[in-house]
Amino acid sequence: GDIVLLAKPVTLTEGDRVTLTTDVLMATDGTSKPEKLLYAVSVPPVRGQIEYINYPGVPISSWSQLDVVAQKVCDVHDNSHEASKDSFR
């Protein structure tokens, strides 16, 4: 089916991390298989990384909607002061 994506901005301070929840990142395709809906980072954040909560310090470039539902993925800001905004695609 058609994929519907909800993505809301989140605010991080220097050195902070935020868990990617379904309130900020949600994809559906009309099926009940969130483990088959995959996100892939094509442009990583410049001032940090995306990582699994259980593996801090190890950047990831893909994860599933089920990982988001289980609150296993976070966006981590490094301690740099150079930018007031950062993003990933």
Paired tokens of 47: 């001032």
Cβ 61 vs Cβ 42: under 8 Å: no
Structure confidence at residue 83 as a pLDDT band (50, 70, 90): low
Q: DSSP string spanning 18-73?
A: EE--TTTEEEE-SSS-GGG-EEE-SS--SSEEEEETTSTT-B-SEEEHHHHHTT-E
Structure confidence at residue 76 as a pLDDT band (50, 70, 90): very high
Residue range 6-57, pLDDT digits in tens: 999 888 878 889 999 999 999 999 888 889 999 999 999 888 899 999 999 9
pLDDT at residue 88 greater than cutoff 70: yes
pTM, two decimal places: 0.88
61/49 Cα distance (integer angstroms): 9
